[in-house]
Structures are given as C-alpha cells and as structure tokens.
Structure 1
C-alpha cells in the first residue's frame, strides 16, 4: 500500500521568481531549446508557462525515440527528446511548465528529491486552491512502464484515487537546475501560474 504525504520540507520560497507566459506556441525542439537557454543564460529564477504548436510526445534524456514510438504506434505525433530525465510524456492535453533556477553563491544545492518535493508541494497548494484535490506520493506506484502518467513515482501528485496529476523531470548543471513539469487530468483557471 502506498503512503501519501502533504509535507513539503523546509525550503524557503525563491526570493525572486520571474513569471513568463510564453505567448508563442512552439514545436518540441523550440520548446526544449528555450528551456535550455533559460537555464544557461538566465540570471534570475524563471517560471515559464507555455503551450505546444503540435501534438507532441517528449522522452527523457536517457530514453530512446523508438521506445516512445512503441507506446504510441501509428499515431500522428511529433517526438522530441527532453534535456531532463523522466519518463515518456504525451503532451496532447497537458499544462506544461518549466522552472529554471540559477545558483547564486550557494555552496550546496538541495538534492533532486528535496527539490521535487518543494516544487510539487507548492504545486499541490495551487491545485487545491483551484479546487483540485490531490496528494503527494510517498513512494513509487506499481510500474506502468515508461509512460510517465501511467507510472507515478515518489513526490508526484495524484488524485485521491491514484490517477497522476503532475510529474516532472530535472536536469542539474553547475549553474543551476531545470525542472520541466506537466499537469494533466484536470482543468485549471487562468492565473494558476501566478499562484505558483
């Protein structure tokens, strides 16, 4: 039996966070290039809310396109590799977002596990404020394969019945951390990103 938690951890909010509602619907390659640029050239933490220009599936840095295509055989989809890890994500009905956090004189960064809990804890509060009940997983759900939303893992957000709502992949580099997230299986009002 999986446990659930609502505990976020002891991280303080980012002192400054720029919200960028990207007005351009982008191809998968463009979206990934923008995220990489935000991390490499940015000076302040940025939350980017965006949308896709075409039906897109992304696969993590350690996956192969053939694996992603095998999950969606015969469908007219655009496949693109993410710069982060994580599973294979069908973005046809998701709310994608990116958080690029830069290191400014920090000697130690929180671990990936702590950052996931911090980001998803903040997102859980936003979802609840928008009327979406959710819980954070304490452990991995039964493995549904490489399809991200069939395989909830520790710190993912799920509906009380276990259906996955939000997950993400991270990439850590010397200058900071990139978190690419996806919210699915719910409707959110405009302004959810400002709450986050």
Structure 2
C-alpha cells in the first residue's frame, strides 16, 4: 500500500498504535492527528472493548439501544454507524495544505482504498473494492463476492469501500 500511496502523496506518515484504546481515546487521537499533522498520515489502531462509532451528524437516539453493550462515540467525521470489536481500524488524515486536498473526497477515498486492496493482495489477503457508480469505468467486485455478517460495519457498502 505504501508504494502506491506514496505516488498519491508527496510524503506520508504511518502510525501503528499497538495498544488498544477506548472509543473516546481513539477518536481523540484521530482528532489530534488532524489538528497537528503536517503531511498526510495513516493510523492503524484497535479497540479495547466493543464499541459503536457514529458520524458527526448521527443522532444519539439511533444508537442509544447499544449503550449497555458497547462504548459509544461520535466521530468528528460523517458517515453512519460503525460497529467495532476485534477489527483493525485505520484513519487517514490529509492536511488542508497538501496538494491532494484539492481533489474530491470521493476520488481520494477510492484511490486510497484501491492502494489498500493492492497491499492486501500482496500479502495474500482477498479484498475487493465495493461496486457502485464508478465514473472511472474501473471494474469492481459486487457485494456478493464477499461474506458480510449482520454486524459488519459495511453491511451496506458504498462505492469504493474495501471488502475483505
């Protein structure tokens, strides 16, 4: 991934946080990375207990039923509900002064995810990019190409989500 991603970004920092954190701490670290990053960065991390993160515009009433079984945290980004447990999560930060920042978020999302799929393939993992409206004409796998459980955070993947 890093070779492909380096072609997208002039410089790129990688952080592998080996200590699992609470949901609140993981979001705080991501927010601090965004505030202080001077070059694009990717952070890989884990959760110390089951958690549910929901997007900035999400409603607490939509997640309140999980308060007794999961840590709840609001992400400072958009998106829907994401169930976390044993998953390896990653976040990508792109400072506003980076040249890539001018591209559409959908374009960046897809390019980074295609690089991730390439990297996973190189280590023998089967991953695909979810199908959706693909203006670039790139052939992508359909949802039926992968197994999706009911609690998978991407049970309803959007275009360019990575499916393993």
- The structure-2 alpha-carbon separation of the partners of 1:19 and 1:131, relative to structure 1 and needing over 3 Å to count, comes to same
1:51 to 46, 51, 61: 46
Match of 1:91 in 2: 84
Residues paired across the two proteins, number? 144
d(CA) in 2 for partners of 1:98, 1:65: 23
Pairwise CA distance, 1:84: 1.2
**Structure 1 spans left out of the alignment, 5+ residues:** 1-10, 142-146, 159-164, 166-196
Match of 1:67 in 2: 62
Pairwise CA distance, 1:108: 6.3
d(CA) in 1 for partners of 2:101, 2:161: 24
Pairwise CA distance, 1:80: 0.6
- The structure-2 alpha-carbon separation of the partners of 1:20 and 1:92, relative to structure 1 and needing over 3 Å to count, comes to same
- The structure-2 alpha-carbon separation of the partners of 1:149 and 1:106, relative to structure 1 and needing over 3 Å to count, comes to closer
1:149 aligns with 2:154: yes
**Structure 2 spans left out of the alignment, 5+ residues:** 1-5, 134-142, 144-151
What is the root-mean-square deviation in Å for CA atoms of aligned residues?
A: 2.7
**TM-score of the aligned structures, taking structure 1 as reference length:** 0.64
Pairwise CA distance, 1:40: 1.1
Runs of 4+ in structure 1 deviating by more than 3 angstroms, as ranges, are 105-108
Q: 3-state SS of the aligned residue for 1:12? A: helix
Higher strand proportion: 1
